Amino acid sequence: MANHHTSSNRLWILGLIPLAFAAYFFLQLEGVASGQFLQFSIPWVPDLNVNFSIYIDGLSLLMSLLVLGIGGLILIYASGYMAGNAKIGRFFFILIFFMIAMLGVVVSDNIFLLFIFWELTSISSFLLIGFSHESEKSQKSAQQALIVTGLGGLALMAGLIMLGYIGGSWELSELLAQGQFLDGHPAFPAVITLIFLGAFTKSAQFPFHFWLPNAMAAPTPVSAYLHSATMVKAGVYLLARLYPIFGGSDTWFFTLVIIGGITGMLGGWLAWQQKDLKRIMAYTTISALGILVFLLGVGQKIGTEAAVLFLFVHSLYKGALFMIAGSVDHETGTRDVTILGGLRGKMPLTMVAVTLATLSMAGVPPLVGFVGKEVIYEATVENVDYRVWLTAVAFVMNFFNVAAAAAILYMPFIRSQPADTQLELDHTHEAPWTMWIGPLSLGILATLSFFFVGSELFSGQLIQGATEAVYGKPAEIKLYALPPALTIVPILSIFTIVGGIIFFAVQGRLIKAARAADAAVSRFGPESGYFAGFDGLLAGAASITLFVQNGKLRRYVLYVVVSFILFVGLPLFLNFGALSWRLSPPPLLYELIVSAVIILATLMVTFARSRLAAVAALGVVGYGIAILFLYFNAPDLAMTQFSVETFTVILFVLVLYRLPAFKAITSPAGRLRDVIIAVLAGGFMAMLVLLVTAVPQSQHVIDYYAQSSYPLAKGQNVVNVILVDFRGFDTLVEISVLGVAAVGVYALIRRGVIRGLSRGERGES
Amino acid sequence: MIISWPILAQFFTALFCLFFWARRDIQRILSLVGSFAALASAIGLLLQVQEAGIQVMQLGNWPSFAGIVLVADLFSAIMVLITAFMGLMIALYAISDIESGQEAFGYHALYHFMLLGVTGSFLTGDLFNLFVWFEIMLVSSFVLLSLQGNRPQIEGGMKYVILNMLASLTFLSAIGLLFSVTGTVNMADIARQLEVVAPQYPTLIIALAMMFTLAFGMKSAVFPLFGWLPASYHTPPTAVTTIFGALLTKVGVYAMIRVYTLIFNQLDTLNYTLTALLLISAFTMVVGVFGAVSQFGFRRLLSFHIISQIGYLIMGLAVFTVASIAGTIFFMVHVILAKAALFLVSGIVKQLTGTNDLKQLGGFYNNNMALSMLFFIPAMALAGIPPLSGFWAKFAIIKAALESGSYWIVGVGLFVSMLTLYSMVKIWTYVFMRARPEAYDKPLEPMAVNDRWLRWTPTILIGGLTVLMGIYAGPLMALSTEAAEQLMAPAQYIGVVLGGAG
């Protein structure tokens, strides 16, 4: 991509639309901050309690501003970054689709509407990670991200349904107004677990964090927008949103502080070891998401305030940094920090932007990141019970961020290019305007925010409005650009920055050992677990399928008979004592004889050593049944049965010589199994028949036939009248069945036998 | 009476197609005109039922319990409508897809005989008559399946016909046993008799209910009775697979819903039977989707998905609330559309490349954006991604299950939903995203203009409906809920069929 310049196309104009919307939202700030929330609702699927309802309070407004503002800058950026790519139209389409979905997530009032948009962000993320669709890495990463976030999404769906069901409302505004209504409810652990699963997978919390660095396979504008500034914040947003319901419980505090803390520290630890600019940023994003979750766990007014402020701070600097990483890649052809250097003079505007962004990341004045870090420390220091622990965790997380910020600023930009690399940077120059305007704007915004941090607009409306929405109660926010008094907090800040820079200076010596340690641990890490679990699942699925669907008809028939025993036999067996039997009158002699013949013939079929014997024995069974028909006064049925049996035997004998040799293919054990199954199934069927005869049968239909047959239908044979009149329709359809069968036989003979069975593809097995 | 029109339309179309045995061109026109007539009358029927309530027709004017009755409640009317719609769409697709060799052996007549069986099953109010409809459905589908007469078709067809005959045998025996208890085969009449009998003989009625479950379970391909489906569904032409996959198993589910809501709905028996159904649904969902994720044949993968989705439908039935049954009805219509759209896409892919083997495919995202979208949208619908039809279907059933406290089955359902998504992504990755493997990279077969619109029109219409169903989920879910309310309050049905005095 180095020196690859295509004249910027006009797609950047699209970026102005979200910016215009952002401006509109910005104008609403004062009203929303004073409690005039924007609301709108129309029913969508009332039977499922889904309304298209929008509710914009301080938190939604802050998120919307980030989604639209950064989104607009990203679109402008992407018009430069993707210039010359043949699929740029598709790219913009999905990106804008995502933007709308993300906006939907943060403004939805109805919890299911929120969920719908939530899923749409996952799908657009899938399409964008897999944008370079022919690369196997993209395919794998896209699939992984979709599965991890999709799994969380399903858990979230269940959690939201339960939340709304218990709360008696499906609108967030109404649920939140009820406060901590779930406390003490037996379903509380289930609901909170399911919702945590949704939020943690989406926001890449440990142990689900691994999909996020892999998502960097997406084009850089996507990484900047979805996987840093907005989509991954959806989980954080959801947690913040539900703070009034769950916040304050011990489960909430410990889960979020521990998971957030681990994520924050782990992300930081992994970040400094990376060589790829985008991967450094991916891990610091994980770290930042951890910090946010951690802060929401700490909770209370100051914790939620810190979370809201840091959310804002992080989106600004990380969005900028990702765009810068893309610009570096675009202009130099690499993102490897170990071989880059000396870009400060070649890309001066980008240099300004990266300086502002990294300083904000490191928490150095005069950037708003400094204030963010101060408030984080205030939040941990104010916690009475766990002050030391929380502060220590926050310190570690911040400290790594400083080190990473130093690396991003120093290695590609400030230092001269290392002498021993092959990379040739002489002709590298500044990126096109579309690509520096975004990072520079965000950097300037971070600076302005610092200087106006105490203003009514910033702290009184933007941050206070969002904090009150999270905290659920009025909260007076006062922010100071520089600490008004020298407490422990600014001292911690100074230590963090100094410590981070010292660490960065010596990290070169640690990096080998650290990577080796990581490699050793990662074999037991969650990503290995994901692959092992998923591959294991697929392997299990394949072997179960092979067992169940083994291609053998006799196996399938076996399943049917066994199912008969399970379906029909089991209830009889379970309630055997409660069954009511009727002792039938003792059988007459001829009944006994005919039955004995039928049973003997049946046994003969199973023992027969040739097909002919089996067919003959089957014929005997049929004749026996026909004789029974005769005894029960049904001569026409008996006649039919006699003819069918006779023809069957004759037909069979005719084709017998064409059939393959008769072989016993089952083992003795298999035959024993079959005997048991057959006897059980037959036994239950016989039982059922006996049971049925114990129930007195209603005679109203039979009586009607007997009485009406002659007077109404003019027929003396009731059976005939039933067949051709009372139920003549059945007969009509049955005749059609015969017609169809005839067509089938004709076609099979003409096409199947003559045109050759040998043609065709492989069969099932 | 408008209730018989959808049946008559299919019946006479089939008959006239037989009359013009040697004239394929006339048969094609007849098939389209007949399908259109069936669709129009199905629409009329649904409107009529919505307007005037449950419709009944006593054939031969005999009293309901003595003769045969056709009954159309909302559920029936919805199913008849979707059948007629699919019938028309596939009739169109078939003109391009079915070889002249098969047309010469009565393809069009067989096709409409099969649709006749499906339509009749949805409209009959008589248990034995239902059996007869099953028979014509079975025989005509078997012949359609093996009409090309090649080896895999005969092999799959054997399994298909033998296992389905076993199902018929079970069904017939169950009817006989139930007749012995109630003295009638009219469903409303049976229901009325069982109100008295079931509390006295609960175990016996449970066993009979389970016997019907077994018979209909085989028809609808639940675990472990589905062996015939994956063995045969990938062998015939795409048009045949599509109409089978869309409709045949759903008839089994329809019958199950009908007998459980109308006949075996006594509290004494439901405790046991619904638990059994819940277990069946869980196994069916899981084993079906396991089969799907293990496949590398486009159509075989989709075939296994039919099974898995049947599990979802049974789950909705087993939860047995108005909301869950409403979800099931919505799900049924959705899955018919989504699955059909995917099968049709597989047919287009097959025609373009000559294969259905995922391992040999690739490159469509690059060179055919329209086809990619035509796959991606129904695939996402099938995976339950909002706001497409499948999301509402899944959501309705899951929500109903959670609200009735059936937690574990929800866990199973969500797990299966995950794997469904994975399997769709698998096809997407293999056939669309990646480049075609070099070993198989040959130019696509050209498609004639005629073929193109005959195949693309139904595919676009059906796929588009999965989007529209999502957007208009509100009124459609309201309709499903109304249908479910009718099902769950069978007194109305019984009253209309048997008349006030009975």
> Does position A434 have pLDDT exceeding 70, yes or no?
yes
* Distance, CA of A391 to chain centre: 35
B47/B51 Cα distance (integer angstroms): 6
Tokens of A432: 């096109």
> Does position A2 have pLDDT exceeding 50, yes or no?
no
For A209, the 3-state DSSP assignment is coil
> Does position B373 have pLDDT exceeding 50, yes or no?
yes
A454/A463 Cα distance (integer angstroms): 10
Asked if the Cβ–Cβ distance from B184 to A746 is below 8 Å, we say no
Check residue A751 and give its pLDDT: 67
Question: b/e per residue, A646-663, with b = 16+ CB within 10 A?
Answer: eeebeebeeeeeeeeeee
> Does position A426 have pLDDT exceeding 90, yes or no?
no
- Please report the residues numbered 183 through 242 in chain A whose beta carbons come closer than 8 angstroms to any beta carbon of chain B: 190
Asked if the Cβ–Cβ distance from A123 to B417 is below 8 Å, we say no
Residues of A in contact with B425 (CB under 8 A): 126, 143, 146
Name beta bridge partners: A276: A336
The confidence band for B460, taking pLDDT boundaries of 50, 70 and 90, is very high
CB B298 within 8 A of CB B349: yes
Name beta bridge partners: B71: B56
CB A14 within 8 A of CB A92: yes
- Among A171, A182, A184, CA closest to A108: A171
A158 contacts chain B (CB < 8 A): yes
Tokens of A281: 């940023």
CB within 8 A of B359, min separation 6: which ones?
A: B296, B430, B437
Tokens of A599: 């049973």
> Does position A754 have pLDDT exceeding 50, yes or no?
no
What's the Cα-to-Cα distance from A261 to each of A247, A253, A258, B384, B443, rounded to whole Å? 17, 11, 5, 34, 55
**CB-closest option in B184, B289, B422 to A147:** B422
* Distance, CA of A409 to chain centre: 37
Tens of pLDDT, residues A141-162? 999 999 999 999 999 999 999 9
B258/B209 Cα distance (integer angstroms): 12
> Does position B54 have pLDDT exceeding 50, yes or no?
yes
> Does position A759 have pLDDT exceeding 70, yes or no?
no
- Among B325, B335, B287, B331, CA closest to B308: B287
Check residue B501 and give its pLDDT: 42
Range of the domain at B199: 2-499
Tens of pLDDT, residues B393-403? 999 999 999 99
The confidence band for A762, taking pLDDT boundaries of 50, 70 and 90, is very low
Check residue A761 and give its pLDDT: 39
Check residue A1 and give its pLDDT: 39
**CB-closest option in B109, B231, B402 to A161:** B402
Between residues B326 and A590, which one has the greater pLDDT?
A: B326
Check residue A520 and give its pLDDT: 87
Tens of pLDDT, residues B250-290? 999 999 999 999 999 998 899 999 999 999 999 999 999 99
For B72, the 3-state DSSP assignment is strand
Check residue B371 and give its pLDDT: 95
Give B475-481 contacts, CB < 8 A, sequence gap 24+. B476/B330, B476/B333, B477/A45, B477/A47, B477/A48, B477/B326, B477/B330, B477/B392, B477/B396, B478/A46, B478/A47, B479/B74, B479/B78, B480/A47, B480/B78, B480/B326, B480/B327, B480/B329, B480/B330, B480/B396, B481/A47, B481/B322, B481/B323, B481/B326
Tokens of A452: 């106006």
Whether pTM > 0.90 for this model: the answer is yes
Provide the 10 A C-beta neighbour count for residue B408. Answer: 10
Between residues A282 and A653, which one has the greater pLDDT?
A: A282
For A421, the 3-state DSSP assignment is coil
Percent of chain B past pLDDT 70, that is, above it, reads: 99
Chain A nearest C-alpha distance from B177 (Å): 6
Residues of A in contact with B386 (CB under 8 A): 115-116, 119-120
DSSP state, residue A524:
T
Interface test with A, best of B259, B294, B375, B426 (most A CBs within 10 A): B294
Asked if the Cβ–Cβ distance from B60 to A700 is below 8 Å, we say no
**CB-closest option in A190, A538, A695 to B204:** A695
Chain A nearest C-alpha distance from B214 (Å): 7
B101/A132 Cα distance (integer angstroms): 44
Tens of pLDDT, residues A340-359? 988 988 999 999 999 999 99
A695/B66 Cα distance (integer angstroms): 21
Tens of pLDDT, residues A84-120? 888 999 999 999 999 999 999 999 999 999 999 999 9
Tokens of A180: 């901590």
Which residue on chain A is closest to B402 by alpha carbon? A162
DSSP state, residue A581:
-
Asked if the Cβ–Cβ distance from A729 to B68 is below 8 Å, we say yes
The confidence band for A9, taking pLDDT boundaries of 50, 70 and 90, is confident
Over range B11-38, report the average pLDDT. 95
> Does position A753 have pLDDT exceeding 70, yes or no?
no
CB A330 within 8 A of CB A429: no
A220/A139 Cα distance (integer angstroms): 16
B273/B490 Cα distance (integer angstroms): 18
What's the Cα-to-Cα distance from A255 to each of A239, A416, B499, rounded to whole Å? 12, 45, 63
Tokens of A10: 């006009």
Asked if the Cβ–Cβ distance from B399 to A151 is below 8 Å, we say no
End-to-end CA distance of chain A: 50
Angle B373-B378-B383 from CA coordinates, rounded to 5°: 120
- Residue type (1 letter), A268: G
Verify cis geometry, omega within 30 degrees of 0, for the bond prior to B224. yes
Give B382-386 contacts, CB < 8 A, sequence gap 24+. B382/B305, B382/B309, B382/B335, B382/B338, B382/B339, B382/B342, B382/B420, B382/B424, B383/B417, B383/B420, B383/B421, B383/B424, B384/B417, B384/B420, B384/B421, B385/A119, B385/A120, B385/A123, B385/B421, B386/A115, B386/A116, B386/A119, B386/A120, B386/B470
Check residue B222 and give its pLDDT: 95
B447/B445 Cα distance (integer angstroms): 6
The helix or strand, by DSSP H or E, that contains position A53, with its residue range, turns out to be strand A50-56
Asked if the Cβ–Cβ distance from A161 to B399 is below 8 Å, we say yes
CB within 8 A of A627, min separation 6: which ones?
A: A594, A638
A441/A464 Cα distance (integer angstroms): 24
Total domain count for chain B? 1
| Residue B367 main-chain phi, psi, to 5 deg | -110, 0
**CB-closest option in B152, B225, B391 to A563:** B225
Report the half-sphere exposure of B269 (CA within 13 A, side-chain side). 26
Q: Cα torsion at B426, B427, B433, B435 (round to 10°)?
A: 110
B274 contacts chain A (CB < 8 A): no
For B135, the 3-state DSSP assignment is helix
Lowest mean per-residue pLDDT among A562-566, B315-319, B352-356, B421-425: B352-356
Check residue A464 and give its pLDDT: 94
A714: left (phi over 0), alpha (psi -120 to 50) or beta: left
The three-state DSSP-derived secondary structure of A213-242 is HHHHHCCHHHHHHHHHHCCCHHHHHHHHHC
Chain A nearest C-alpha distance from B429 (Å): 7
Asked if the Cβ–Cβ distance from A751 to B414 is below 8 Å, we say no
B270/B262 Cα distance (integer angstroms): 12
A548 contacts chain B (CB < 8 A): yes
B61 contacts chain A (CB < 8 A): no
Residues of B in contact with A111 (CB under 8 A): none
Over range A523-538, report the average pLDDT. 91
> Does position A3 have pLDDT exceeding 60, yes or no?
no
Rg (CA), chain A: 38
CB within 8 A of A60, min separation 6: which ones?
A: A106, A107, A469
B366/B440 Cα distance (integer angstroms): 16
- Among A308, A269, A626, A267, CA closest to A471: A308
- Among B52, B71, B163, B190, CA closest to B121: B71
Task: Identify the sign of the CA torsion B48, B54, B59, B62.
Answer: negative
Residues of A in contact with B116 (CB under 8 A): 736
